[in-house]
Amino acid sequence: MELAEIKILIDKYYDGETTLAEETAIAEYIATHDNLPSELEVMRAIFMTTSTLKETKAPKAKPRVMTLRRRLTLAISGVAAVAIAIIGVVLIPDGTHNTKTNEQPTILCYKDGIAIENQEVVMAEAHRILGGVSEDMQMVMAKIEALNIASIH
């Protein structure tokens, strides 16, 4: 390949229009010719750098090991998030009531498939659900702590 053809390919390279074969031709020309014009010395640096980068291997990523504590924490967080979402749906009014009257918003939940509108019953059910989640979390945290103590000794 002649110098004039390489210059045309380099112009295409700068415009992002070269094919892989054309880039390989440029790289081979630059690698095999020691006496390049000064304007092509920049291309020598570019192609030498990119060829060095091709040979560089990325370090192998270590697989992330999920500990029992992390798994339990994620499980507890999921249960707590679901409980909070359920309570939010149960306790937050739907916004369709008239705000200009003194009417209390309708609080509605379903227990065993039966609609409940009594605020005291709804609140008691919400506290029961949260209490159960809290007890479950305390039991799991105690087990995690026992595992941590056992792993230290």
* Residue-wise pLDDT tens digits, 71-106: 888 888 888 888 777 777 766 655 555 555 566 656
Average pLDDT in the chain: 76
Q: What is the pLDDT of residue 100?
A: 55
Please check the confidence at residue 52 and state whether its pLDDT lies above 70. no
Cα gap 5→141, rounded to integer Å: 72
Q: What is the pLDDT of residue 102?
A: 60
Cα distances (angstroms) measured from residue 76 to each of 56, 127, 150? 43, 18, 21
Look at 77 and 54; give whichever has higher pLDDT: 77
Closest CA to 11 of 34, 35, 43, 33: 43
Look at 101 and 127; give whichever has higher pLDDT: 127
